[in-house]
Amino acid sequence: MYNFLPVLNVFSRILLAFAPAFLVPLAWAWFLDGRHHALVWAYGFAFTAFCGLALWQCTRAHRRELQAKDGFLLVNLVWTLLPGFAALPLMFTVPGVEWAKAYFEAMSALTATGATAFAGLDDLPVSVNVWRCFLQLVGGLGIMLLVVAVLPLLGLGGVQLYRAETPGPMKDTKFTPRIAETARGLWGVYVLFAVACMLAYRWAGMSWADAFMHMCTTMGLGGFSSHDASFGYWDSHTIEAVATVFMTLAGVSFMRYFIVLRHRTLRPLLNDREIRTYVAVLAVSILVVATLLVAHDTVDDFPEALRTAAFHVVSVATTTGYASTDYAQWPVFVPVLLMFLGCFVSCAGSTGGGIKLVRMVLLIKQARRELVRIIHPRVVNPVTLGGVVMPTAVMTAVLGYMLIYGAATMGLTMVLLFTGLDIVTAFSAVVATVNNIGPGLGEVGPASNFGVLNTTQVWVLSFAMLLGRLELLTVLVLFTGHFWRK
């Protein structure tokens, strides 16, 4: 049998590293919410640290370097169990919340999905909203990347975590000789952008608390807000412009920013095929949506339509999920287009969800290659990206991923339909959670929330968020018999 005790030993240290995160809402609660709420976060910190310490004591005799199987199991443990620890304080600070919805909220936060089951956000304690948003900052680039950056005790096993955690089809790309150095570089860039984003929000008119919370959910591309009306609460063109700029930046691979800062040249950004396609898709989509809004008299003039379209197209396409109005009431083509964009527009290596744009580019190139081969069966026409021939292994992985992606989406939709949901709500809820977009359509549209669903439906969508965040294969590999054989 497969020995998982060494994995639990590493997980214990991750729990110990995660425990100080509770001190962030504790600090806000101490000054703004009162002593009672501060104690809840203090107990959350103590309980998480105690569990981590106890587990470490029980497994410290089983330390060894992580192997490939260990990396996949550890990543699944982290993304399955940490939301449970994160959800515990919500049970004592949010009135009337049940465990399923508290876990759903924590999973949505850590996976940077932004699908909320809570209503009355304006009336929640500040520390609760800070916690929800801060988890999206941590989960945006990936908890395991943070672990590899700050816990070099994982040694070469960190490569296995990097491969299991990093989104995108080309996971073996490293930009420094040591994986820990790469992870620290990515987190350094992430923090740099986060500080700039928070200061920009403050300059645009947000309070310091709102600026901090929305910085977390903008850079994490999660979309949680401290207000039920989301960005409609401010009705500010300046604030929406700041959000649009930083959401667009966060939708690009942070690895590219790392290279730009390392070599002090913009060439890696300008020459990247995926980034050029990303900008082109966003620009064309904004023009299409703005034109439709004016044509259907939804918005009076084209400049206003362009501004509104830019905010919502970038928000949903990058899987953030902010809204300043109920776009589900727009011409039906628009919300469907926005959901479609959220499935693939984010770049690999960004904090966004979905199948990633590079996969879509490779699939289109593969389809074009097959069309050419029909006419010229003997032609040598390999799939290339940026002038580099894609290995067969990469193309096979992309095709396999898309097959499983389609099967998982349809399978989970059928499960929700079996529980009694209508087809629009069921399908859009699965698309929104598997792609970590946030709001769906129907009963879970931008003007509503996932709190209207029953317990079974909430658990199904919690699993869908886990699948999407870990890009399906990392989770589903645990259900194969080969994984558990020694």
- Residue 285 inside a domain? The answer is no
Whether residue 416 is predicted with pLDDT greater than 80 in this model: the reply is yes
Q: Which DSSP string corresponds to 214-241? A: HHHHHHTT----SSTTGGGGT--HHHHH
- Residue 158's pLDDT is what? 45
- Residue 418 inside a domain? The answer is yes
Taking the CA of residue 473 as centre, how many other CA atoms within 13 Å lie in the half-sphere pointing to its CB? 17
Whether residue 135 is predicted with pLDDT greater than 80 in this model: the reply is yes
What does the buried/exposed string (b/e) look like for 334-362 if buried means 16 or more CB atoms within 10 Å of the residue's CB? bbebbbebbbbbbbbbbbbbbbbbbbbbb
SS3 percent helix, strand, coil of the chain, rounded to 5, is 70, 0, 30
Quickly state the pLDDT bin for 151 (edges 50, 70, 90). very low
- Residue 43 inside a domain? The answer is yes
From 453, 343, 353, 363, select the one nearest 409 (Cα to Cα). Answer: 343
Question: Bridge-partner residues for 322, per DSSP?
Answer: none
- Residue 180's pLDDT is what? 67
- Residue 301 inside a domain? The answer is no
For the chain, the average pLDDT equals: 86
Whether residue 32 is predicted with pLDDT greater than 50 in this model: the reply is yes
- Residue 217's pLDDT is what? 94
Percent of the chain with pLDDT over 70: 91
Q: Helix or strand or coil: residue 388? A: strand
What would the mean pLDDT of 69-84 be, rounded to a whole number?
87
Whether residue 159 is predicted with pLDDT greater than 70 in this model: the reply is no
Quickly state the pLDDT bin for 455 (edges 50, 70, 90). very high
CA–CA dist 272, 170 (Å, integer): 14
Per-residue model confidence as pLDDT tens digits over 94-132? 888 999 999 999 999 999 898 999 988 999 999 999 999
What would the mean pLDDT of 290-309 be, rounded to a whole number?
92
Provide the number of structural domains found in the chain: 1
Torsion angle of the four alpha carbons 227, 354, 173, 262, in this order, in degrees rounded to the nearest 10: -30
Quickly state the pLDDT bin for 170 (edges 50, 70, 90). very low
- Residue 295 inside a domain? The answer is no
- Residue 479 inside a domain? The answer is yes
Per-residue model confidence as pLDDT tens digits over 8-24? 888 898 899 899 999 99
Quickly state the pLDDT bin for 43 (edges 50, 70, 90). very high
**How far is the first Cα of the chain from the last one, in angstroms, to the nearest whole number?**
5
Task: Give phi and psi for 146, each to the nearest 5.
Answer: -65, -40
Q: Helix or strand or coil: residue 32? A: helix
Q: What is the DSSP letter of 387?
A: T
- Residue 156's pLDDT is what? 34
Which alpha helices (H) appear in 142-228, and where do they start and end? 143-150, 158-165, 179-204, 208-219
Cβ pair 75, 14 in contact under 8 A: no
User: What is the domain extent for residue 255?
Assistant: 1-272+392-486
Whether residue 141 is predicted with pLDDT greater than 80 in this model: the reply is no
By residue count, the chain amounts to 486
> 3-class secondary structure for 326-378?
CHHHCCCHHHHHHHHHHCCCCCCCCCCCCCCHHHHHHHHHHHHHHHHHHHCCC
Q: In one letter, which amino acid is 39?
A: L
- Residue 187 inside a domain? The answer is yes
Q: How far is CA 398 from CA 168, 217, 438, 471, in A?
A: 9, 29, 24, 11
What would the mean pLDDT of 261-290 be, rounded to a whole number?
90
- Residue 81's pLDDT is what? 94
Q: How far is CA 58 from CA 4, 12, 15, in A?
A: 13, 10, 14
Task: Give phi and psi for 384, each to the nearest 5.
Answer: -125, 155
Give the global pTM.
Answer: 0.90
Quickly state the pLDDT bin for 362 (edges 50, 70, 90). confident
- Residue 307 inside a domain? The answer is no
